[in-house]
Structure 1
Amino acid sequence: MSLETEIADLWNRYQNGLTAADAGTSELETLDAFLAALEAGEYRAAEKVGPADWEAVEWVKQGVLLNFGLRETEPRSYGGVDYYDVLPLRETDDLADRGARNTPDGTVLRPGSYLGEDVIMMSPSFVNIGAYVDDAALVDSNDVVGSCAQIGADVKLGANTLIGGVLEPVEDAPVVVEDGVSLGAGCRVTSGFVVGENSVVGENTLLTPRIPVYDLVEETVHYGRLPPERRAFQRYVESSVSDEELIPGKAYKPAVVATSLEQETLEATQREGALRE
């Protein structure tokens, strides 16, 4: 029986009333094997199915959810701090073999998260269960990579950036930041938004499906994605609530403007090579 089949069977039993109190050694061994496979990069919570489309791998997200539904909360300790959770923190022995590194004093990885070759995690930062961080990505200080988020190769997450997690429903694709993207400090990417490859996003930009992306290259408006090879930044446009009598003057709502990505802009965002020497 494959791991996918075992998780599917366990999910069916969970949907039909299986609880953490009922879960025995066999069930927990299946969940442990699942987390180990995610940490080895054997499976991912989403896959690309077209030039601009990603789909959730539902059985993987089911496996993540089962780790919360079928494990008991227990007292634990990390760095002298007591806490309560269903899982301990992720072991990091495998990172050295891939040349990845997490700096001390505050880098936290939960089980089931994957870090590729030459990944750098600066302190403090957090990578949640089911997240996939591909080769040569940089997770800077005060960054959060949410549950099942997909971070591509050569991505730079600026300091204080939030990549939201998407666990439920299982058919919803998580946040995706494709290869070569640079997110400026303070960016927020949520609710399954897809940032197209090699794009450069300005500081403090909010990318979410509820905010329109005005693409000046294609002269169209996108929701839920930023096309590849764009330079994007936050702006505010007039809102329809300006007509409300209770609001004096104009009212504005957030929007994202996307322009072409010039070569010199791309070169200006490249990281110092000394970081990886």
Structure 2
Amino acid sequence: MSALESELTELWEQYQNDDVSADSAGEDAYATLDAFLDSLEAGEIRAAEKHGDTWEANEWVKQGILLNFGLRATEPREYGGVTYNDVLPLADSSDYGDRGSRNTPDGTVVRRGAHIGSDCILMSPAFVNIGAHIGDGTLVDSCDTVGSCAQIGANVKLGANTLIGGVLEPVENAPVIIEDNVSLGAGCRVTSGFVVGENSVVGENTLLTPRIPVYDLVEEEVLYGELPADRRAFTRFVESSISDHDLFEGGAYKPAVVATDLQTETLEATEREDTLRE
């Protein structure tokens, strides 16, 4: 256990026992919270990490985020000439250019405590919440939302109007995971701790959530909460168990996700796009 983890864990216990509050927290507590946010932004700590084949939440990291909400007062702040009210300022993006990353103006918002890697592109308007981790070379396109604690890998493409859900509570639950080299088409939604395996390509407007089955035609099995690596996925509709109800003339259908082999032509298209971006 690192010194920072030890300090955050002790502070969390005090907070849970009502031994510390926003009114009583001292300079040491805020120094610990600031060091915690700096470590998140530097990518030194993460809300979730992969152990073997499984992604697991770092509970103490999520507790640290909650402490920042619980022990700080809401204050009026300025952004783009507009006053907003929050417990934290936005992230300082002044060093993005030094790392080859760029964030376009007019609505690109990165909240304090989010990590943005090198050679990233953030297109306005986009929003990246606290605890999110954006890997090197990743594109966050226009109208994208990356929720709290979401873990986005390297060289990922989030198509325009994509929603990556946040999972801050309960602290033991792993957030949404998008592994390396994934491409999500425009309008995709990924929620509730769903894991998208590396190198996968997901079609436009696909909803990935543990409540919707993934029919993996490669291994011929039905999965929930994950899309295996090296898959091409898209939405289809399958017959519902209420199809025989009198109200559903012609049958009722429910959404599902179909996963197939990643086709060679799909890889070539992705490689062509990478070449254009370079």
TM-score of the aligned structures, taking structure 2 as reference length = 0.96
Q: Which SS does the other structure have where 1:253 is aligned?
A: strand
Deviation at 1:272, TM superposition (A): 4.3
Runs of at least 5 residues in structure 1 that lack an aligned partner in the other structure: none
Could you tell me how far apart the structure 1 residues matched to 2:25 and 2:236 are?
Answer: 51
Could you tell me how far apart the structure 1 residues matched to 2:222 and 2:52 are?
Answer: 19
Residue 33 of structure 1 corresponds to 35
For 1:234-245, what aligned pairs fall within 5 Å after superposition?
234-245=235-246
Residue-by-residue CA offset, 1:93-124 (whole Å, 9 max, x unaligned): 23223211111111100011011110110111
Deviation at 1:243, TM superposition (A): 2.7
Could you tell me how far apart the structure 2 residues matched to 1:249 and 1:273 are?
Answer: 47
Residue 187 of structure 1 corresponds to 188
Deviation at 1:26, TM superposition (A): 1.5
Could you tell me how far apart the structure 1 residues matched to 2:109 and 2:93 are?
Answer: 10
Residue 129 of structure 1 corresponds to 130
For 1:104-115, what aligned pairs fall within 5 Å after superposition?
104-115=105-116
Residue 233 of structure 2 corresponds to 232
Residue-by-residue CA offset, 1:212-238 (whole Å, 9 max, x unaligned): 000000000110000000000001111
For 1:136-151, what aligned pairs fall within 5 Å after superposition?
136-151=137-152
Deviation at 1:22, TM superposition (A): 1.8
Could you tell me how far apart the structure 1 residues matched to 2:259 and 2:42 are?
Answer: 36
* Cα gap change, 1:236 to 1:226, in 2 (>3 Å): same
Counterpart of 1:242, as a letter, is S
Residue 209 of structure 2 corresponds to 208
Residue 171 of structure 2 corresponds to 170
Residue 101 of structure 1 corresponds to 102
Could you tell me how far apart the structure 2 residues matched to 1:274 and 1:82 are?
Answer: 39
Residue-by-residue CA offset, 1:185-240 (whole Å, 9 max, x unaligned): 00000000000000000000000000000000000011000000000000111111
Runs of at least 5 residues in structure 2 that lack an aligned partner in the other structure: none
Could you tell me how far apart the structure 1 residues matched to 2:224 and 2:110 are?
Answer: 31
Residue-by-residue CA offset, 1:155-181 (whole Å, 9 max, x unaligned): 000000000000000000000000000
Residue 19 of structure 1 corresponds to 21
Deviation at 1:274, TM superposition (A): 4.4
TM-score of the aligned structures, taking structure 1 as reference length = 0.96
Q: Which SS does the other structure have where 2:23 is aligned?
A: coil
Q: How many residues align?
A: 275
- Of residues 239-248 and 214-223 in structure 1, the stretch that sits farther from structure 2 once superposed is 239-248
Could you tell me how far apart the structure 1 residues matched to 2:117 and 2:85 are?
Answer: 28
Residue 273 of structure 1 corresponds to 275
- Of residues 187-196 and 81-90 in structure 1, the stretch that sits farther from structure 2 once superposed is 81-90
Q: Which SS does the other structure have where 1:241 is aligned?
A: coil
Counterpart of 2:22, as a letter, is A
Runs of 4+ in 1 over 4 A off after TM superposition: none
Residue 162 of structure 2 corresponds to 161
Deviation at 1:48, TM superposition (A): 0.5
Could you tell me how far apart the structure 2 residues matched to 1:13 and 1:267 are?
Answer: 54
Deviation at 1:23, TM superposition (A): 1.7
Could you tell me how far apart the structure 2 residues matched to 1:213 and 1:246 are?
Answer: 27
Counterpart of 2:39, as a letter, is A
Q: Which SS does the other structure have where 1:174 is aligned?
A: coil
Deviation at 1:248, TM superposition (A): 3.0
